[in-house]
Chains A and B, each alone.
Chain A
Amino acid sequence: MYPANLYYTKDHEWLKVEGEEAVVGITDFAQQQLGDIIYAELPPAGKDLEAHQVLGSLESVKSVSDIYCPVSGEVLGVNSELSQAPDLINKDPYGQGWLVRLKLKDKAELDALMKAADYEKYLEGLEH
């Protein structure tokens, strides 16, 4: 459910580091909470985002949720498949349902994120 090679945030985003770049998406828990996703509003390429800044929003049948940028960086591109098939986020949140690719600004910011085991503990806390 929560791959060990990813970093996680308290707002239920994940981040996967690939060299100087990173891919960002939402966790399986987040997609379950949102339910069927209808629209993904994502930032334009080239946009500089600070950590915790709103990266975009996801609209499901029932609600709309902001997505926050886990770390600072420049948007290199977004998942263009999502405009046609936003349900990829529900079906495959860690794979085909990724949201944006970032150029990392400061790798030290990764230390503030959770590892899978910590995130799972965090979720257990939320459920009580």
Chain B
Amino acid sequence: MKKTRLNAVHKEAGARMVEFAGFEMPIEYKGIIDEHLAVRTKAGLFDVSHMGEIIVEGPEALACLQYLTPNDVAKLSSGKIQYTALTTSQGTFVDDLLIYCLSVPDKYLLVVNAANIDKDFAWVKEKATPFRVEVFNRSDEHSQLALQGPLAREILQPLTDIDLSQMKPFTFAFGQVASIECLVSRTGYTGEDGFEIYTLAENPEIIWKAIMAEGEPKGLLPVGLGARDTLRLEAKLMLYGNDISDKTTVLEADLKWIVKFQKGDFIGKAALEKQEQEGLRRKLIGFEVIDKGIARPHYPVFIKGEQVSEISSGTFAPYLKKAIGLTYLPVEHTEIGTEFEIGVRDRKLKARVVPTPFYKREKK
């Protein structure tokens, strides 16, 4: 099992550790609910060093990424970030990812899911063959911390020379955090304002400890993967392997906003155009459980007694205080308010299609 460079820090903090995507990771410290609420109301600090970092570099890096992803990479100037996907020829997901533009048009950083690092690296390398680029897997060298929540900026600013007030969402800058060289981006996976901090340094625990020392008096908590999952689900952020996969297309996942047909050819374009013309047969929807109980991944979904799908994500939402989830439904049943049933062991729970995201922070 791999360990991040912060492994000892988590154990010191009393985290319960589990295996996730080949890494020994903290699932919770104080408890999922407390950690979740800290991120919604104050701030939380996550070790997400398991995430993958792939560099695409060379004179045709932009052209290569335009071909590998459905979003328009040409929109990115240096310092900007884009949410997108690696798509198959069927328009399904190899992975979802963030592209960081380091230099136009020749250097980009791809931040990918931990479970997909090897697959993505092999995929990008293979598909990049016709282009004058080199592809590097830099996942093991990078540590990544995420500081998320309404107090994130206030906690981070005293520790860095970057002017965070000038940093817009989905942009990044290089600078120091706790005197260590870092890349800091205004991104996250929680639905809150916040920052992700990447470093190649051997001692990221210095950053971790400096942020905790600064933030703890203000209510900052360390947060594990348990609350990371409940936070991202409230904000309806996709989890590869649950909500999206090589079996679901980008359009079915309701991510049409990352598909730019007019930009030129890309892998999966023909399939997605065809699907758009013919109309979707199923679509990812958000639901609330009406009856008492929690829907969890893989529980069967029924409409008029017939099983139509299974739950892709489902949990108790600690901030909203109800059971929520995501599932694919036949499009004729995706209207807001539509009721259906979820098989929970020996019972069937009523659920209802609701607008998403379930949680949206108030913008100041």
Which A residues form the contact surface with B (CB < 8 A)?
A: 32, 35-36, 38-39, 59, 61-64, 90
Which candidate, B175-183, B211-219, B261-269, B288-296, is the interface stretch facing chain A?
A: B288-296
| Contact among B28, B34, B226, B296 with A64 in the assembled complex (CB-CB below 8 Å) | B296
Q: A38-B294, A39-B293 are in contact. Are A62 and B226 (CB under 8 A)?
A: yes
| Contact among B31, B34, B230, B294 with A59 in the assembled complex (CB-CB below 8 Å) | B294
A35-B32, A59-B293, A61-B230 known; 7 other A-B pairs, CB under 8 Å? Answer: A32-B16, A36-B32, A36-B318, A61-B315, A61-B316, A62-B32, A63-B296
> Complex Cα distance A90/B34, Å?
13
Query: In the complex, which residues of chain A have a beta carbon less than 8 angstroms from the beta carbon of B16?
Result: 32
Interface residues of B in 76-129 (CB under 8 A from A): none
- Least CB separation from B225: chain A residue: A62
A61, B33: Cβ atoms closer than 8 Å: yes
Query: In the complex, which residues of chain B have a beta carbon less than 8 angstroms from the beta carbon of A63?
Result: 296
> Complex Cα distance A59/B296, Å?
11
Q: Mark B29-48, 1 if CB is under 8 A from A, else 0.
A: 00111100000000000000
> Complex Cα distance A39/B230, Å?
17
* Size bracket of the B interface: 10 to 19
Query: In the complex, which residues of chain A have a beta carbon less than 8 angstroms from the beta carbon of B292?
Result: 39
Distance from A67 Cβ to chain B, minimum over Cβ atoms (Å)? 14
> Complex Cα distance A63/B27, Å?
13
Query: In the complex, which residues of chain B have a beta carbon less than 8 angstroms from the beta carbon of A38?
Result: 294, 316
Query: In the complex, which residues of chain B have a beta carbon less than 8 angstroms from the beta carbon of A62?
Result: 27, 32, 226, 315
Query: In the complex, which residues of chain B have a beta carbon less than 8 angstroms from the beta carbon of A61?
Result: 32-33, 226, 230, 315-316, 318
Distance from A84 Cβ to chain B, minimum over Cβ atoms (Å)? 13
Query: In the complex, which residues of chain A have a beta carbon less than 8 angstroms from the beta carbon of B315?
Result: 61-62
- Least CB separation from B31: chain A residue: A36
Query: In the complex, which residues of chain A have a beta carbon less than 8 angstroms from the beta carbon of B32?
Result: 35-36, 61-62
Query: In the complex, which residues of chain B have a beta carbon less than 8 angstroms from the beta carbon of A39?
Result: 292-294
> Complex Cα distance A38/B294, Å?
9
What are 11 residue pairs bridging A and B, where the CB atoms are less than 8 Å apart in the complex?
A: A35-B28, A36-B32, A36-B33, A36-B34, A38-B294, A38-B316, A39-B292, A39-B294, A61-B230, A61-B315, A63-B296
Q: Mark B270-296, 1 if CB is under 8 A from A, else 0.
A: 000000000000000000000011101
6 closest A-B pairs by CB: A36-B33, A61-B32, A38-B316, A36-B31, A61-B316, A36-B32
> Complex Cα distance A61/B294, Å?
9
> Complex Cα distance A18/B298, Å?
43
B294, A90: Cβ atoms closer than 8 Å: no
| Contact among B31, B296, B345 with A90 in the assembled complex (CB-CB below 8 Å) | B31
Distance from B323 Cβ to chain A, minimum over Cβ atoms (Å)? 8
- Least CB separation from B315: chain A residue: A61
> Complex Cα distance A39/B16, Å?
22
Distance from B39 Cβ to chain A, minimum over Cβ atoms (Å)? 14
> Complex Cα distance A61/B345, Å?
17
Q: Mark B315-342, 1 if CB is under 8 A from A, else 0.
A: 1101000000000000000000000000
Distance from A36 Cβ to chain B, minimum over Cβ atoms (Å)? 4
> Complex Cα distance A64/B294, Å?
9
Q: Which of B33, B226, B315, B345 has the largest number of chain A CB atoms within 10 A?
A: B33
> Complex Cα distance A90/B345, Å?
24
- Least CB separation from A87: chain B residue: B33
Query: In the complex, which residues of chain A have a beta carbon less than 8 angstroms from the beta carbon of B226?
Result: 35, 61-62
> Complex Cα distance A62/B296, Å?
9
Interface residues of B in 132-187 (CB under 8 A from A): none
> Complex Cα distance A36/B16, Å?
13
Interface residues of B in 4-42 (CB under 8 A from A): 16, 27-28, 31-34
> Complex Cα distance A122/B296, Å?
31
Q: Which of A35, A39, A63, A64 has the largest number of chain B CB atoms within 10 A?
A: A35
